[in-house]
Amino acid sequence: MKIIDLYNPERVNRKPDQIKVLVSSSNFEEQGFKIKHVELRLYVEKTDKELGEFSLITSLVKTDKGSVEMLYDEGYRGPDSLARAVNFLISNLGISSLILRSIITLRSSISD
């Protein structure tokens, strides 16, 4: 099962422009879910002459019970928006909160 937790799932209905893997080949467990893979994905949606690229950044968390792609950040974030988002997550323990949000979404979908 793959859940796309965005108000408009069509926004990610293509190959991402860039991917940064945060966790791979993992099998640690969190609340009964084995976390296998975590990544951030960049989708450049449009470019403005003055503001630059409009970036949609999503997180993708793959578990043994399904995967969730959800909104992480969006907007005119300037160059290297994905790299800066990854650095922020790594330096502020944001990966754990990203995983917990995904587990909550998966658990909710499984119980429905």
- Burial label for 57, CB within 10 Å (0-12, 13-18, 19+), is buried
Phi, psi of 9 (to 5 degrees): -60, -20
Segment 16-72, tens digit of pLDDT = 999 999 988 777 888 889 999 999 999 999 999 999 999 999 999 999 999 999 999
Can you tell me which residue has the tokens 């989708």?
43
Taking alpha carbons only, the member of 8, 31, 54 closest to residue 100 is 31
Element at 86 (helix H, strand E): helix 81-91
Question: What is the model's pLDDT at position 46?
Answer: 93
Q: Which residue has the higher pLDDT, 75 or 27?
A: 75
Question: What is the model's pLDDT at position 47?
Answer: 93
Position 112 pLDDT exceeds 70: no
